[in-house]
Structure 1
Amino acid sequence: MTQVWQLQEAKGRFSEVVEEAVKNGPQLITKRGIETAIVLSFADYRKLLLRQKKLSEFFRDSPLAGANLDLTRDTSPLRDEVVL
């Protein structure tokens, strides 16, 4: 489970925040109650990087790949001209 740290507390206990990230997963940092940052272990970071795909692979693997989509551009005017 992700632990939540207020920014001031995380600054003062940074070593502990990092240690918790290594042992227990991502640590959430908030600033004035707003989720602001995540501290990840390097192992978790590497996992995220390894799961990334190239954009071309994403489109090739899409459920819409091979679908018969009409991609012609509509050339009709968007709206009547406005007289000022």
Structure 2
Amino acid sequence: MHTWPVQDAKARFSEFLDACLHEGPQMVTRRGAEAAVLIPVDEWRRLQSAARPSLKQLLLSEDARTDLTLPARGQATRRKVEPML
């Protein structure tokens, strides 16, 4: 994976994009620290389809509509509270 400083990626965006399409993902750094990655759209779609479903998708799915079983309540005791003076 080739690394591009953000200034170079901005100044030579067309070349940056071509490198992504022909060579694969391209890393962008800001002040020497990794900041972002440019990847081809096909790779992005593959990653999105392989990702786990979102919370919204889980809650709206038929799999989420099951009976919720809760454990029986225990014999918890309350702690003693000293009266305020």
Q: Which 5+ residue runs of structure 2 have no aligned equivalent?
A: 59-75, 77-85
**1:53 corresponds to which residue?**
52
Deviation at 1:50, TM superposition (A): 1.3
**1:25 corresponds to which residue?**
24
TM-score, normalised to structure 1, is 0.60
TM-score, normalised to structure 2, is 0.60
Q: CA RMSD in A?
A: 2.0
Equivalent residues, number: 57
CA radius of gyration, larger in: 2
Off by >2 Å, runs of 4+ in structure 1: 53-57
Q: Which 5+ residue runs of structure 1 have no aligned equivalent?
A: 58-74, 76-84
